[in-house]
Structure 1
């Protein structure tokens, strides 16, 4: 007998509200989008949304694996930036820094980072087409 796996599917509806912006809806959430050619400071533009998606994927991956690894942490912060090339327009690189507030050993921090890189859906979607690199390190008082 063949075993079938259930695939997850996702659905978002985005609608232009005017020449200055759009709204994306998913489940019972709503997000303002910067689709204004002049840009907006009160909404995420498409590149920032992609960076936010990678960040959320990293954090969700950490939430998923910490119980399995019995990894103790007090908090996580992701700092991420992308560099856009003009021709053709694309993000040529994304660099991230994952700051983990934890007393776990350096080896366990490395294990956590390995899991983030291996099992993140958005991370693994973006990585083949963009130089995606970063570090996971212990958060310090200066951070």
Structure 2
């Protein structure tokens, strides 16, 4: 056993012996293919960050767990940068993640979701069509008066 496995076993033993409040539920996070993972931070949305061993326990990578699956944060960055994120230490309510990796610490900020077309444009379009229809109706009514 290596040191990480020994520490993981000690942690599991402490958790098993510790009393758990009935209001709390333990959720296994899983791994990125290896034998261990460690959580460092959680936000109000329940997103968890930390590190996990990869397949074969060759390396540790930073992860984001969203309640359903674990995502390797290295899959979200441009590989041509030559950076490997080894551990994520915290996550904000807006989804910003502080991570450690090759060459130092990094702040990962989620890209803004595409903004849908404002409903005001649709409303102006409908109003424009109504105005056009009203104008045609008035013109038709006026032409009928002229014929009489």
TM-score of the two chains, using structure 2 as the length reference = 0.25
Q: Which has the larger radius of gyration?
A: 2
TM-score of the two chains, using structure 1 as the length reference = 0.26
